[in-house]
Copies of this chain bind each other. A is one copy, B any other.
Amino acid sequence: MAGSSAELLTPEDLEARLRQVGETRYHHLHPFQLRLQSGECTRGEVEAWALNRYLYQACIPQKDSHILARMEDASMRREWRQRIIDHDGEREGEGGIAKWLKLTDDLGLDRGDVMSGRLALPATKFAVNAYLSFVKDRSLLEAIASSLTELFSPMVIKTRVAGMLSNYDYVTQETLAYFTARPVQAKRDSDFALAYVLEHAKTPEQQQAAIGALEFKCSMLWTMLDALEHAYVYAKPWPDAFAPDGAAEMRRAAAE
């Protein structure tokens, strides 16, 4: 955990520590993630995952806007603003959020239910809120370091897409269009963020803060999957949360 060491790391050692956080704390290790990509998830679990994760996807341009608002350097803002464009698109129906809605559409979920968040788990909302608070309240270095989970996402995306395509007959390449663009974007974004962190974490305290920020972000992604596993695999949902066999099931039946 962050704080266990107070010596100044070389940039190489700091990068190694950051990558070690990913290896041990990123959600590619989470049981629900393994379940999702191996085909063990029920359709209801896949729906609940897509519905809850929408709130995370939807918060990304807000998160990046908070970071943008804190940058005093125009050249940095020019780099960072591309993230907002990637997720919001150039026009209605484009961009990462619209692609996520393509996924929830294809799963038969109602857009009003998805976009309002009214059926999402409270833990999902709290995690998203914690992420937004973090990038507002912590140092710019920590806010940027928290984005470094993108160092690890390309590999996970590949495994997730391959696993979902081969295991769920209701999932097509088109359904998962969101993920097609992400590895290239994530590589570009994380290259920039990593260079920034390695350059600006100049004291042991700043280095530990950067490591802690990445741990925080991993814990936030992990906790969203914990909540899904608890609610849907262990069947302990918050009473007002999405019920896979309820409304969505009925809508599907009516449409068939």
Contacts and interface: CB of A to CB of B under 8 A. Distances in A.
A230 to B, nearest CB: 4
Given A1-B118, A31-B236, A240-B215, A227 B123 contact: yes
Contact of A223 (B25, B126, B133, B229): B126
Given A126-B123, A126-B130, A238 B223 contact: yes
A126 to B, nearest CB: 4
Contacts of A122: 127, 216, 219-220, 222-223
Interface of A: 1, 24-25, 31, 118, 121-123, 125-127, 129-130, 133, 215-216, 219-220, 222-223, 226-227, 229-231, 234, 236, 238-240
30 contacts: A1-B240, A122-B127, A122-B219, A122-B220, A122-B222, A122-B223, A123-B226, A123-B227, A125-B130, A126-B126, A126-B129, A126-B130, A126-B220, A126-B223, A129-B129, A129-B130, A129-B133, A133-B133, A215-B240, A223-B238, A226-B227, A226-B236, A226-B238, A227-B227, A227-B230, A229-B230, A229-B236, A230-B230, A230-B234, A234-B234
